[in-house]
A and B are shown apart, each in its own frame.
Chain A
């Protein structure tokens, strides 16, 4: 636990896992990973392993929560007890409640909520293994799950964090960098609309560093978005081939 590395960035400007400051971790995405869900996705980003599922549009329970003019979106972000070093109690923590809220608010602007009045869309995210940046990877997967469920959307939301370690602004922080670095800026984007739907920050940044971090995170989102969209398309190309 306490064998802290001396430096997060070496003399050559490389990070603990050998990445350059503006390099993403390896990403693997799978669409339709679960058969029961209306839509689902699985993402690996670094050591993060996250499953997302979308159920809906469906009847809202309890009924009184239903909205007369649009769909009700609910999100639950949850971490498995074995996903982190010290066992996490399965009961929802305050952190999980907050992240569930910001994930919902990051997806909501992308969905045509008014197409399905009086119905509900439930998005469930389970973090099976955490390695820093879980909320961003969760959003990337959750947006794919919603798309896979066939819900009409303005854009597919994608998320990535930037931050600061050892006075350098870097992309896609992993666990050690998140814990020992000096700032973390998770950001979600609708890439075609250039609209930021999630933005949080903690640590310390000057105004200039913050602007750099936001721009770097946006670049990261755009790179992930390409992988995300290719994965979604690939699923349906596969289906077509089987039919032929």
Chain B
């Protein structure tokens, strides 16, 4: 995006950031207002809607029976998918997932997978043969920037809200019975994205900031302050010092959010 309008805005945004301010009055390391609502889709095994400022993401989980991967015969399977649905932005088009939605899904997936958020061994029914497969579908409903952090929050919130049907094994067949148990979630990864604009880093970029940013870096932090996943994106670069700054900020921000969300 380098239309005349965004170039004019770039100057304005950069001048503000120089003074430690942003378009919407936030400090450089402030998140927008976060609201999470869980369990809003009754047909889904788990669901959560996240509002991050005007960015809105809905995540739903479904559970199916399936086969484990050959290299992890005792573990259930996690599959994350993301849809940038056309109603969310004038720039989203219908059709098969493009590289942006694939990247988004894979960043969310890595945060959950690498932090071992789900106790996948508890999802095994019969080693090597039958396991539960957890599908997390991230649905972007309104795009106002920082889809990564909003989607990661929505995915974790939906997993925390996920109920699994109880089951019995009769004659080698899995029969679902009445009653539910909670999906075993052990860790609560939080992903913090910083954007580089005019050589300064800002947390939780809104859409206008994303349109003028050089690059972004998203860092997933687990409950014990460890880094679990990172993704740099965008056509610019970071200096090694900026990377360390982003990592420190991510650690602090994740801690704050964790306290606020009680995760």
Contact = CB atoms under 8 A, between A and B. Distances in A.
Interface string B197-238: 000000000000000000101000010011111111111111
B232 A199 contact: yes
Interface stretch (A128-136, A188-196, A225-233): A188-196
Given A199-B217, A207-B227, A98 B102 contact: yes
A201 B230 contact: yes
Contact of B240 (A101, A194, A206): A194
A168 interface: no
Interface residues of B, number: 35
A100 interface: yes
A1 B248 CA distance: 39
Given A69-B2, A100-B99, A196 B226 contact: no
Contacts of A202: 110, 113-114, 228-230
Contacts of A94: 97, 102, 105-106
A81 interface: no
Interface string B229-263: 11111111111100110011001000000000000
Given A195-B239, A202-B229, A211 B244 contact: yes
Given A69-B2, A97-B102, A105 B247 contact: no
Given A195-B237, A196-B237, A201 B227 contact: yes
Contact of B227 (A109, A197, A204): A204
Contact of A98 (B103, B227, B240): B103
Closest 4 CB pairs of A and B: A201-B230, A195-B237, A199-B232, A108-B235
Interface of A: 69, 94-95, 97-98, 100-102, 105, 108-109, 185, 190, 193-207, 210-211, 214-215, 218
30 contacts: A94-B97, A94-B106, A97-B99, A98-B99, A109-B236, A185-B230, A193-B237, A195-B238, A196-B237, A196-B240, A197-B237, A199-B217, A199-B230, A199-B238, A200-B230, A200-B231, A201-B227, A201-B230, A202-B110, A202-B230, A203-B114, A203-B228, A204-B222, A204-B226, A205-B227, A206-B226, A206-B227, A210-B227, A214-B240, A215-B240
Interface of B: 2, 97, 99, 102-103, 105-106, 110, 113-115, 215, 217, 222, 225-240, 243-244, 247-248, 251
Given A196-B240, A206-B226, 4 more contacts: A109-B236, A196-B238, A202-B228, A204-B228
